[in-house]
Chains A and B, each alone.
Chain A
Amino acid sequence: MSPTSENAPGATSLDDVLVGEAVLGVYRQMFAALARDSGAVVDDPELVDVAETLLAAFADAGEDGLSREQMRYVCRGYPAEVFENRLRVLKGLGAIREVFPKPNQLRYRASFTSVVGLMFVRRMMLDGGQSEMHRLLALEQLNVADPRMTPEQARDGAEGLARAFRLWSVELVTLTNGTIEELREQAPKLWGTEEILLRAERLHGAILRRWPQLDRTCTDLRAAIYAYGDASRRAAARLSDSAGTTRNLTLLPPETWRTFSRTASRDDLAAVLDGFVFDAAAPWHEPAAIVTAVEDGPRSTPPRPAPPRASLPDNGLSEDAGSDGVEAERLRTVAEEVLRGRDAIAVEDLLDRDWVTARRVLADLSSAHLHPELPYRLVWSDGLTARLDGSPTWVSPGVFERTGP
């Protein structure tokens, strides 16, 4: 049914106009039943019924057609102005025309194309194009097997299918991203079955096998088919997500329940529990729980008294907290006196005085060595020197040295 224009685009001639006029004529007849006037589509389903009644009467009437009075009689169920309007539109669009194109014709005949168009429209209304896709795919399959088929026709068919699949998946994706109610309502008409995908892929394979030169068109078709498959799966996933694990797609979504519970009257809500008897509320207050509640409750007096304070005046913190600063400074002074600018000094030289003084120095040096913050250390080495006349009669060799700044 799709018009094929064999002419190169851009070059318009009288022939082009003729071809275009023929195409427009087919269009007009096809959709005459849906036309409100010659410029718009019906806004009342009843108007389509008028057209259908008329067309059925024409089919019964046979080759003689119907006169105007017979048509009016068939449509006696509808108001006169509606009938007149429909007749004018249908005549204007060519769905009903005179038996012979002469003036003052009294008998009319109906166009076959309009009936087919109406059938098509009704079917589309029923199942939203899905079974139409099945039919189209089956037809294309037949066409591809037909030896008279040309590559151009095959390419047009494939492009049309690719376009249909693309639009189809776009619509599904839009629904999937929309509200769940709309998706639940519309999607079953739109989402595909595995069968459609299989059939489309088979058709695609058949076209590609027969006309390998159409690979570019076939790539488009393949992409469109896969896009449609993805969109279909996503819509199904969204639906089953919203239905929870029950997989029952007719379950109401939680929002609906919430809205109901918020807007329902008290009687509506209570009606759910008609026929049930409930025990009266019987909370239990254990004595121990009462005691706990009273003791944990907010109290007028602070729960804990302030800690006792001495009656003597408090003069704050003591200055001498035994901090290490003073002692460390003293040790540093002693160590610097001993070193006198050198980095290391032998212990024997230090002890070369009377032992009473020397042992005090030695104690300070040991303290400096052990102090973690002072950069001095005492290093003892092996060996023992006997000094018969010294005050300590033996001494080990050792070094007092600076380890850092």
Chain B
Amino acid sequence: MNEEVARARARVLGTPSIPVSEPVPAGMSSASDGERVWPLPAWPDGATPALLEEYQTAPMPLDRPGQARRVLAAALRCCWTRLDDDPWPGRPAAVAAVLEVYAGMSRGDAELARRWATGELRRLADTGWLLLDEQSGTVRPGPRVALWPDGTLGSLRDLLRRLPQPPPDDALTLQPADETAPAEPLDGAVEEAGGAAERHDGVEAEDAGEVAGAGE
């Protein structure tokens, strides 16, 4: 493939994967898991988009960034098991386990938390932060986590040690209800857009209450 086309493709599609045999376009870094390779943007001097904050430039806006990051943390808790290593490539974990961890982190209706987390998992997968395999119901870290400089990972490692334990794998396989959990939200995904609007309010109000309570 032409190199310019490959770079343009990588920019337009976000994080497309190419076979390892294909060359990575010049000027891009890459993350590989042995079979596939993901071209990633490269920034000069080891900077990351977090630098935007120092220049008081607004980063890309996100709906509910806090929730997305909590779900990412829950996913990393399950996938990044050897915290002394790099998060990439990590190991696959069951989506049900991630949802369980997230439900344990958050307050309120656990079923609702799982539904929200499912949506956030998809959004994170769309933007290359997670690799979600909905058929097998597994998730693993996305290629973008390979962009994290090693020096910034200390506090994240500490945090992940404090997060609730994911349920052991055999617990998930023993419970058929949990096994179907990743498949179930897929059916509900169609109605998620509609259901999200009405269910959203409760969570938002809860969040607002939390903030107000902390402020007092």
For window 114-155 of B, CB contacts with A under 8 Å fall at: 126-129, 144, 148, 152-153, 155
A299 in the interface (beta carbon within 8 A) = yes
B207 in the interface (beta carbon within 8 A) = yes
Measured CA separation A262–B129 after assembly (Å): 33
B126 and A281 contact, CB distance less than 8 A: yes
B105 and A294 contact, CB distance less than 8 A: yes
Size of interface on B: residues with Cβ below 8 Å to A: 44
A287 in the interface (beta carbon within 8 A) = yes
B190 in the interface (beta carbon within 8 A) = no
Measured CA separation A392–B11 after assembly (Å): 104
Q: Identify which of B59, B105, B107, B156 contacts A283 (C-beta below 8 A).
A: B59
Size of interface on A: residues with Cβ below 8 Å to B: 25
Measured CA separation A280–B214 after assembly (Å): 37
Measured CA separation A290–B105 after assembly (Å): 13
Q: Identify which of A278, A280, A284, A293 contacts B66 (C-beta below 8 A).
A: A293
B60 to chain A: which residues have CB within 8 Å?
A: 281-284
Measured CA separation A139–B191 after assembly (Å): 75
Known: A293-B73, A297-B106, A303-B214. A288 touches B129 (CB 8 A): no
B105 and A299 contact, CB distance less than 8 A: yes
A285 in the interface (beta carbon within 8 A) = yes
Measured CA separation A157–B156 after assembly (Å): 91
CB distance from B153 to the nearest CB of A (A): 6
CB distance from B102 to the nearest CB of A (A): 10
Known: A283-B59, A283-B60. A296 touches B13 (CB 8 A): no
B72 in the interface (beta carbon within 8 A) = yes
Interface of B is mostly: helix
CB distance from B141 to the nearest CB of A (A): 12
Measured CA separation A294–B70 after assembly (Å): 5
A103 in the interface (beta carbon within 8 A) = no
B1 to chain A: which residues have CB within 8 Å?
A: none
B108 and A298 contact, CB distance less than 8 A: yes
CB distance from A269 to the nearest CB of B (A): 18
A295 to chain B: which residues have CB within 8 Å?
A: 159
Q: Identify which of A277, A282, A291 contacts B159 (C-beta below 8 A).
A: A291
B65 and A284 contact, CB distance less than 8 A: no
A300 and B106 contact, CB distance less than 8 A: yes
B72 and A290 contact, CB distance less than 8 A: yes
Measured CA separation A295–B148 after assembly (Å): 20
B12 in the interface (beta carbon within 8 A) = yes
A279 in the interface (beta carbon within 8 A) = yes
A297 to chain B: which residues have CB within 8 Å?
A: 66-67, 70, 105-106
Nearest 10 Cβ contacts at the A-B interface: A280-B14, A293-B69, A284-B49, A287-B156, A286-B50, A298-B107, A293-B66, A290-B69, A291-B159, A298-B210
Residues of A within 8 A of B (CB): 277-300, 303
